[in-house]
Amino acid sequence: MGLTLSLCGLVLLALTLWWRAAPAPGRTRWWTGMDLNERSVLLGLPGFALMLVAAGPMGTYEGEAWKLWFSLVFAVGGVMAMWAWLFLPLPRWLLPRWLRARRGG
């Protein structure tokens, strides 16, 4: 199960990097235009992919108390990061070059 989670996270991370890096018209049409869609692809999906990759090895460790505390800290950090990427302005260096050029800035 842990290997499956990690592999799914790596596939999702590769897919989001592919969407971000290549400015083909059909590839980015669905996620550009709305601010929430852009934030989801630029921050949300890679963050979720990294959480899947990090959750994979948790099944290999013994000791339920350790998993509980790690999961609690991980969940609180994930919720705080979600609020940050929803409402804080995105820095210019985070946007892909082609998206900055499309916005005109």
CB 94 within 8 A of CB 42: yes
Q: Tell me which residue of 78, 103, 102, 89 sits closest to 23, measured CA to CA.
A: 102
What is the pLDDT confidence band of residue 36, given thresholds at 50, 70 and 90? confident
Cα–Cα dist 41/13, whole Å: 10
Q: What pTM did the predictor assign?
A: 0.70
Q: Tell me which residue of 53, 70, 59 sits closest to 8, measured CA to CA.
A: 53
DSSP class of 94: G
Q: What is the pLDDT of residue 10?
A: 93
Mean pLDDT computed over 50-77: 75
